[in-house]
Structure formats: C-alpha cells, structure tokens
Amino acid sequence: SLTQSRHSRHLGACAAALARFGDLGDSGDLALAAEQLRVARRELGRITGHVGAEDVLDIIFRDFCVGK
C-alpha cells in the first residue's frame, strides 16, 4: 500500500543517516554527527506524525514564496 511504501522510504532514509553517522567513527566532527542524527530523527518523525518547526518553515518557504 501507499502508506507502507512511504514508511519503507522514510525508514530507509533513517537507516542511511544512521549508517553515515556510524561511518563518521571517531572523526571528531560533532557538527556532521549531529546533522546525521537530526536527519534520522526527522525521517522517523515523518512516520510517527511528529512535525517540527523546521518542517513548517520548509513548507512556508517552498509553497508561499516568502522572501522573494
């Protein structure tokens, strides 16, 4: 079904972000590590219905051409 396909896509994106996080190892780049965790959390939020401020701002700037 469409929902299962969507869930699978978001879980795949979450797993990829977590893999990139793991690949960073002990590189010490906390900004890159934090970004990968943020991406993973956002993908899970898209399945659970959790919408953050960043998602709302993305929609506003994408759909309403604010600032142009």
| Per-residue pLDDT at 17 | 95
Predicted local distance difference test score (pLDDT) of residue 1: 60
Q: Which amino acid is at 59?
A: I
Q: What's the rounded Cα separation, in Å, for the pair 50 and 10?
A: 13
d(CA 29, CA 49): 30
- Based on the structure, what is the number of domains in the chain? 1
The residue segments making up the domain with residue 33 are: 2-64
Query: For residues 51 and 2, which has the higher predicted lDDT (pLDDT)?
Result: 51
Instruction: Give the per-residue pLDDT at 68.
Output: 52
pLDDT digits (tens, 9 = 90+) for 16-56: 999 999 998 788 788 899 999 999 999 999 898 887 777 77
pTM more than 0.75:
no
